[in-house]
Structure 1
């Protein structure tokens, strides 16, 4: 790593892949790639699973993903770049640049469209292109949809619109006199220093590409979902093909505090500023100019997510902490959004409670019992008993105070747990850790539990055979 990382961040990045690998096992996802940037530089990335279940090709960090609505952040950056160059103003009506719009659509200001406040239709009267039932609309089909009036009055509420961002793509073409993908590749993607990103598909045959997958239902198994096709007039809304690492680099550069960026600090502040709140969501989040924002605990974030046929992705920037993480998954039920939140909880825990000390460091590993697995995760002055099957592994985690070599006391636990009782590690004659005791609960290694369950299974089968023999005897 080119940069020196804080000790707590190094410790967090040590645990993050252990948790994600377990999440992959539990969820039976095809694949996942995660990248973390610190001070704008990608300092850690990891891939899990398969890029294509039909061929069992391993997924790598260099695989490109369809990252869908992340494209809106790229498009918004393009609009703001043109504004900085004096080519347009955010209060300009879109009808100044694009003909053939319904009069009420033409009156919408660029600012309204950028923050999804123009009241425009989401995907037109037939969104079969998002179901792989038909090709993405071309310019003619897009304009036919925009010749219809807005669905609701503008500036009344947040109303997400892919048609709106596709319209912004037409604005960029009108202002620059170039095809959207050509101008965006040069003036946004290359200007940001990205080398693994394209404004639209299909991906070049020379680059590794993550195939999309269906859910396991209704077939009972996942199948490959075609996701290479060009999104045509919708590239500005959802066409981008990128690696998780490039997403982390790009979004980190949108942090108002970033030292290098294709946008001025003022434009970046405007881009991430919350414009609309979604009052109907169970999660508190807002939309800015091509960005989402919210909180994980007391940590604020901004970024975007993306859903393309067969892939789910999410990128979060943590302002004031010089961190950005991006997660891409290649199935329609991918858990990228939940895992991004869980990853932030892991980062937050280590940042708050510190890296392991010499006293706590020996406490570690994954331990198993009939009820599942727990992870011992050492912090500065205590050890957490994490739940790797949970989206937030540290939620309501038991804490152990280390009192001696392989001895501790449960200093914090739920009312139904073993609060105040002894915790201890048991080693074999060779010094290898063999058991963990939490109060009266014995936990063992995965290999030991596997053998135990197999023995129990054999006993059960033997008992069944005995019952059958007795039932058949005179």
Structure 2
């Protein structure tokens, strides 16, 4: 292992020790109160009475210390966006899917090193060496199912269809566990594992075992015709004549990798549940927030549902989410008990940069590195 890798390993080991000692106590230092008048100019592109908007929250010590919304949630109805507006989270869903697996692992119903093929009937035979852990941290090497969905597809793909799509390949990008490559397929497969091991549909498992215990009253893994999204934002894309609807795509019905709808208001409860270990133990949460070391000695920079990196000596957790008509971001500094979430109902934009700028305001410093997803193959 090179010196850089040793330093990174030592840093995350120190964080694990600190987290184990402090649990849900207050942050290491009191964060400064920034001038919130500096926030509105950052969201000028979303602050239009005629365009799709954004909702934002800054969470410190388990409570919202800043919350605001801009623009419209529904252009046709001219419904303003609010902190209670529910957006399609896209890949911000992945921490919820990972949490479902973590709950089952704590109950002894599966192990992270179980072969997926031993748990899930119909998993392609060429993926025999793929483990649950590999799916969680994107080290499986499996292909992204979207590459097998033709542009002419009209019927929406669902999680169960991903197995058939994966069967169209005959190899992984690399031997499982040896490298990292972001794959939505992994989280669709994890949703199927949850259904199989948990004994109920994935959407119900999330509601009963994750959302409700965490205090998320209206967050939903949305299934058209089966569930309703309250105060729903609809997605849009910019065109030469203004914004036009772009709310669904052929892959929008896949739940495990991106099908949850929630609001920034609801996500305050989710963030608190993570920090107070309301769903899984502190040891399990530390495992989720510790990236594995690859055989070449480098960090995978992805745990269980979270990108993880070292930002100037602080652990930084993050995720972005992009899907048809929605672009979102979350950044979390667990030691400082600071989280920023930005949800938008438009394609494009860079809300992760806005989220980081808000975090920098509250931390009183500037981030030292770009978010790790920007260097990940196939992560958008």
Identify the TM-score tier after normalising by the shorter chain.
Answer: 0.7 to 0.9
1:151 pairs, out of 168, 172, 182, with 172
CA contact (8 A) 1:9 1:350 kept: no
Whole-angstrom CA distance in 2 between matches of 1:16 and 1:249: 26
Whole-angstrom CA distance in 2 between matches of 1:43 and 1:286: 29
Whole-angstrom CA distance in 2 between matches of 1:297 and 1:290: 22
Return closer, same or farther for 1:171/1:312 CA change in 2, 3 Å cut-off: same
2:162 pairs, out of 131, 142, 166, with 142
Deviation at 1:169, TM superposition (A): 1.0
1:223 counterpart = 2:234: no
Whole-angstrom CA distance in 2 between matches of 1:260 and 1:157: 30
Return closer, same or farther for 1:69/1:150 CA change in 2, 3 Å cut-off: farther
1:326 counterpart = 2:341: yes
1:312 pairs, out of 327, 331, 352, with 327
CA contact (8 A) 2:120 2:196 kept: yes
1:344 pairs, out of 359, 368, 375, with 359
In structure 2, the residue corresponding to 1:35 is in which secondary structure?
Answer: strand
Whole-angstrom CA distance in 2 between matches of 1:295 and 1:213: 34
Whole-angstrom CA distance in 2 between matches of 1:293 and 1:311: 23
In structure 2, the residue corresponding to 1:237 is in which secondary structure?
Answer: coil
1:31 pairs, out of 37, 50, 53, with 53
Return closer, same or farther for 1:265/1:139 CA change in 2, 3 Å cut-off: closer
Task: Indicate the residue corresponding to 1:397 in structure 2.
Answer: none
Whole-angstrom CA distance in 2 between matches of 1:100 and 1:271: 27
Return closer, same or farther for 1:323/1:301 CA change in 2, 3 Å cut-off: same
Return closer, same or farther for 1:23/1:42 CA change in 2, 3 Å cut-off: same
CA contact (8 A) 1:32 1:329 kept: yes
Write out aligned runs for 1:146-225 (5 A).
Answer: 146-147=166-167, 148-152=169-173, 153-202=175-224, 207-216=230-239, 219-225=240-246
Larger Rg: 1
What does the per-residue CA deviation read over 1:50-109, in whole Å, with 9 as the maximum and x for residues that have no partner? 112333321111110000111111011111111111111101001111112222313311
In structure 2, the residue corresponding to 1:51 is in which secondary structure?
Answer: strand
Whole-angstrom CA distance in 1 between matches of 2:301 and 2:282: 20
Deviation at 1:8, TM superposition (A): 5.2
Task: Indicate the residue corresponding to 1:84 in structure 2.
Answer: 106
What does the per-residue CA deviation read over 1:99-157, in whole Å, with 9 as the maximum and x for residues that have no partner? 122223133110111111111011244345xx895343235532212334343221221
Aligned length: 335
CA contact (8 A) 1:200 1:231 kept: no
CA contact (8 A) 2:216 2:266 kept: yes
Q: CA RMSD in A?
A: 3.2
Task: Indicate the residue corresponding to 1:438 in structure 2.
Answer: none
What does the per-residue CA deviation read over 1:140-191, in whole Å, with 9 as the maximum and x for residues that have no partner? 5322123343432212211111111111111111112111111111001112
Task: Indicate the residue corresponding to 1:59 in structure 2.
Answer: 81
Deviation at 1:40, TM superposition (A): 1.9
TM-score (norm 2): 0.78
2:280 pairs, out of 263, 276, 280, with 263
Q: Which structure is higher in strand share?
A: 1
Any stretches of 5+ residues in structure 1 without a counterpart?
Answer: 353-390, 392-474
Task: Indicate the residue corresponding to 1:243 in structure 2.
Answer: 263
Return closer, same or farther for 1:18/1:134 CA change in 2, 3 Å cut-off: same
Write out aligned runs for 1:361-440 (5 A).
Answer: none
TM-score (norm 1): 0.64
CA contact (8 A) 1:51 1:59 kept: yes
